[in-house]
Each structure stands twice: as C-alpha cells, then as structure tokens.
Amino acid sequence: MQSPPLSLESENSINREQDILIVGAGPGGLASALLLAHSGLKVRVIEKTPFIGGRTRIVEHDGFKFDRGPTFFHYPEVIEEIFQAIGMDAHEELGLIPLDPSYRLVFGKGGSIDATCNLEAMTERVRELSGDKDAEGFKRYITENRRKLDRSKGCLKTPWKGPSDLLSKRAFSAATVLKPWASVASDLERLFDDERVRLAMSFQTKYLGMSPFHAPSLFTILAFLEYEHGIFHAKGGLGSITARMGEIAREMGVLFELETEVDEVIIEGKTVKGLRTKNVDYMAEKVIMNADFGHAMTTMIPNQKRKKWSDEKLQKKSYSCSTFMLYLGVDKLYDEPHHQIYASADYENSLVNIDNHRIPWNDPSIYVQNACITDPSMAPTGQSTLYVLVPVPNTDPSIVWEHEREEFSELIIDQMAHLGFTNLREHMVSKTIVTPDDWGASDIYRGAVFNLAHGLDQMLWRRPHNRFEELNGLYLVGGGTHPGSGLPTIFESARISSKLIISDLGISVDWNGVDTWFPDLRRPKAMR
C-alpha cells in the first residue's frame, strides 16, 4: 500500500530537529535512512511526490498495478547485509520470491533460451542452443566472472577520491581480471562462437542504459550475477520493497515530509547547511542527495557553486538511453514466463540507432513482464498486467514523442507476438504510454533513466563522488554516483555514503557484525 501524505511537522521558519537530511525517498535514500537511524542519528527525508519509493514504486491505472521502474531484484547480497546491519532479515521483511526460469530470451535470429541459476541446467540449455563448444565456454564464463567479481568487489564497495586510488590494493586486485581495452561484447567472443549466446551474456548492460558493444568488459559480471544468484520477484511488485523500507524507517523514528519540494540547497561558503523548501528551512549536520544527479545539480545548487559539475560540463557528459513504456491491462492471463526479452535480429544496429538518437523502428528489442503468472495480486481477478519496456534514445530536439508515441506503441504491440502475446488488441482494457519526454518532465535529466553512462571516462573517481567533491557536508546516493545504476549498486552507494557520514561525524556504531568501514582504507578514529 502507498503511504498517505504527511504534513509538515513544524510551522517554524527554521527546523533544526535532525542530524541528517535526505532529498528523495527512492531506494538509495531509504537504505541510507535505515542505516543512519539505526546508528542513532535523527533523519528526515524530504520527498517531492506524495509517495515513497521514487521510481521503485507501484503505480495504478484502471485498477491494474504496475512497477513504475525496476521489475525484478537480483544480487540480493547487498540488501541482505544492509538489513543484517539493522538487525533484520531482508528476505523475511521484503518477501522476495525466486523465479525459475529467471526469464526467457527469444532471438530475432531464431531460437530461444530459458535462463536459470541452476548452472548445470543452464549449461545444457546452452549446449542445446549452440553446441558443445559454447557449453564449455559457459562453464569458463562462470569461473572467470566468479573470480572477476571477487577481485573487483573491493572497488565497487569502496569510495574513490582520485587517480591515486589506482595504487591501492583493491585496484591492483581488480587489475588482474579487468581488460580496459575490451568491451563486454568483444570479451565474450573468446568464449562463445554463437552470437545468440554472447547476447544472452551481454544484453544485461542495458540495465545500465548502455550497449554491450561499448560497455567496459567489467560488466560481463551483470549476467553472471543472474546466473549465480538468480532473479527475484516481490509480492505486490518490486515497489512493495521500498514501501516496506519506508515503514521500517518510520518505526525507527525517521521523519518523512512528502509533497514537499526542495527549492535549493542552503550553502554557506563551500559547506552545505540544509535545505530550503517553500515553508521551512531545514538545517542539519549532513545532507544526502538521492534525487537524479543532473536534475539536482541544475535546479537545487547554483551553477557558480559548481566547477567540475557545472551546467555546461553536465551538458557534455554521456548519458544512458531512455525507455519507452507500455503499461497494459488485459482481460486474460497469458501462459508465458514472468519475464521475457525479445532481441532484435539486427541487435547491434538497433543499439547504434539508439546511440545516434534514432527511434528503433525496424524490429525493436523489447522486454515484457507478465507478472500475474506469478502474482495475481497485480490485477483484478481473472485479468492481468503486462509491463513493456523498449530501449530508446534519451531526449533530443530531433524526436518529438508526442508525434510518434501512438504509432510506435502499435509497433511494439505487434512485436509482442514474438513472445507469445497474440491477439493482444482484442484483450486490452487499459493502456498507458510513457515516453522519454515524460521521464524528462518527471525530473530525470534528459530522460536518461539509467543516469550518467558507465564508460571508463565516467566510472570510479570520474563519477560524482559519494562524498560530493565540490561541497562539504553533501553526500550522494543513487545511480548518478559510484558505483552506478541498478538496484544492487544503488543500495551499495547508500551504504558507502552512510559509512562516510558516520566516519565524518566521528561516531562508533554497531551494525550487527557488518563492517562499518572499507577494505584497504585507513579507519578514522571515532570521537563519540
């Protein structure tokens, strides 16, 4: 259930009742709130909308429920450790349901494969699709990426300050398994002859809004995480996760100000002191920014206060693709897997078009979630929801989606027949379209739903720092900071920033056996 709006709790022009202010009640802000409240700090979350969850929440159209953004959970290790830190069990609290198959991948060039985290079964499915050599390649892929994750995990769980960090133990460990000269696609050519198998191990870079032909080879671990750990649904939709996190945060004393827009960050010299809203100036020791990075910088912090991340420099950065969405309510249940992906017969050229701000009119790739095959609670009795996502360019003056949306939506409905959704128009009772322009209008810079791109020029210390480098007292969580986009990494950004805040405040805390500092970094002395 969505939480009711809360009214402002003080009529004073200045409110000093909190140690920590958080802009945005998305998953990163909520995870930070849990960790910091458990650490004894007074936390207040300021959220523009009436709802908790950001893009990870449930929306309802004509009685049908849909996830607004992410539709599945993978690599639960980070959220498991965050909940362990606050003395809870993530699986028990969040109701995670493992899916098998994880998804069905249908190839425009022919054939399909049902992905599973049963590695023996997956090896045999690869063998059936493309033969013994690629089956052996899959075994090597798993072994290599298990080692790659182990060696690179320290880099992903630790803050980066600058290129000097490349001399650290964690960087040397990662260097033994990384190939900075290779892309995900080119690296996989060593292991797999069949283009379809390479695609099954690489399409996951779209979780970052990137093409596997451009994404650094580090990100072969994305598919590995699915095969190693599986994929999870949450009863009621993935948005139920953030709703539950919000409930727990309230129980821990976190205050939420919903329907309250931050007009600007209050800055004295080079230090952030609080947040200004229409009615109240909130002051605090530290401020966490969980809003979309580009939007937050250009609307809440004066341009003259930013040199490295000025408006002009932000415009020149590389950003992820966007998404074209259909939320469809239908009067029947299709007997198809919970998750399906159709990969265009000309997958690479389709991605080239997207990168060059061309709508992929010719055989677009699509993702469809058929949630009610697992969770009937998402729709009225006897009916079901279909969530459809299509990678498309981020916003650009050359594309006016108001002129293209209806025709493109009809093309996508035709494409859904590749995944077994035939005669769909006869059964649709509700249809909602969301375009990149709509994402842009909802405070997402350039409609780039996966934030800054993840090229080598925008990773590690070259990404906005967790302890924001241009202003004291400001910390970032979310896809626009290190380690990047996707729920597991967003939760990791929250944990990194929370550790930094605790250290900067000189607090010694108990996280139930979970380390409150970082490998390969000197631990500061706690003062209180």
Q: How far apart are CA 147 and CA 251, in angstroms?
A: 40
The answer on pLDDT for 11 being more than 90 is no
pLDDT, tens only, 336-370: 999 999 999 999 999 999 999 999 999 999 999 99
- Residue 179: what pLDDT? 87
Each residue's pLDDT tens digit, 89-114 = 999 999 999 999 999 999 999 999 99
Quick check: helix, strand or coil at residue 29?
A: helix
Q: Which two tokens stand for residue 360?
A: 């992929």
Q: Which residues of 442-457 are buried (b: 16+ CB within 10 A; e: fewer)?
A: bbbbbbbbbbbbbeee
Whole-number percent of the chain with pLDDT over 90: 90
**pLDDT confidence of residue 176:** 86
> What is the chain's alpha carbon radius of gyration, rounded to the nearest angstrom?
23
Q: Provide the 3-class DSSP secondary structure of residue 32.
A: helix
The three-state DSSP-derived secondary structure of 422-459 is CCHHHCEEEEEEECHHHHHHCCCHHHCCCCECCCHHHC
Mean pLDDT of 432-438: 98
Average pLDDT, integer, range 460-469: 97
User: Which of 47, 46, 42 has its CA nearest to residue 16?
Assistant: 42
Neighbours of 109 (CB within 10 A): 13
pLDDT tens per residue across span 262-315: 999 999 999 999 999 999 999 999 999 999 999 999 999 999 999 999 999 999
Band (pLDDT 50/70/90 cuts) for residue 527 is very low
pLDDT score at 4: 41
Question: If we measure between CA atoms, which residue out of 502, 528, 509, 494 comes closest to residue 33?
Answer: 494
Domains, in order of start, for the chain: 14-94+236-317+451-504 (3.50.50.60), 121-229 (no CATH), 321-447 (3.30.519)
Extended strands (E) in 93-184: 96-99, 103-107, 112-115
Element (DSSP H or E) covering residue 263: strand 262-268
What pLDDT is stored for residue 528 in this prediction?
Answer: 43
Name the 3-class secondary structure at 5.
Answer: coil
DSSP state letters, 447-514: G-TT-B--SGGGSGGGSPPSB-TTSBTEEE-STTSTT-SSHHHHHHHHHHHHHHHHHHTT-----TTS
Average confidence (pLDDT) over 165-194: 91
Q: What pLDDT score does 334 carry? A: 97
> What is the rounded distance in angstroms from the CA atom of residue 462 to the CA atom of residue 313?
13
User: Tokens 């967003």 appear where?
Assistant: 490
* Sign of the torsion angle spanned by Cα atoms 195, 201, 206, 208: negative
In our burial notation (b when 16+ CB lie closer than 10 A, e otherwise), range 14-29 reads ebeebbbbbbbbbbbb
Predicted confidence band at 525 (pLDDT cuts at 50, 70, 90)? low
- Residue 248 confidence (pLDDT) above 50: yes
**Is the per-residue pLDDT at 169 higher than 50?**
yes
Residue 422, judged by CB atoms within 10 A of its CB (0-12, 13-18, 19+), counts as exposed
DSSP 8-state class, residue 355 = H
Q: Which two tokens stand for residue 14?
A: 């200045």
What is residue 50's predicted lDDT score, i.e. its pLDDT? 97
- Position 70 pLDDT exceeds 60: yes
- Alpha-carbon distances of 420 from 143, 309, 316, 378, rounded to whole Å: 34, 46, 42, 20
Task: Kindly give, in sequence order, each residue whose CB lies less than 8 Å from that of residue 178, ignoring residues fewer than 6 positions away.
Answer: 148, 152, 216, 217, 218
Tens-digit pLDDT profile for residues 182-228: 999 999 999 999 999 999 999 999 888 899 999 999 999 999 999 99
Q: What element of type H or E holds 226? A: helix 221-229
**β-pairing verdict for 271-277 and 262-268:** antiparallel
* pLDDT of 6 over the 80 cut: no
Total number of residues shown for the chain:
528
Per the omega criterion (within 30 degrees of 0), is the bond before 101 cis? yes
Question: What is the reported pLDDT for 526?
Answer: 54
Going by the DSSP 8-state scheme, the letter that residue 181 receives in this structure is T
Label the pairing between strands 14-15 and 281-283.
Answer: parallel
pLDDT value, residue 12:
47
Residue 364 structure tokens: 């677009």
When the pLDDT of each residue in the chain is averaged and rounded to a whole number, the result is: 94
- In degrees rounded to 5, what are phi and psi of residue 350? -60, -40
Q: Alpha-carbon distance 388 to 326, whole Å?
A: 5
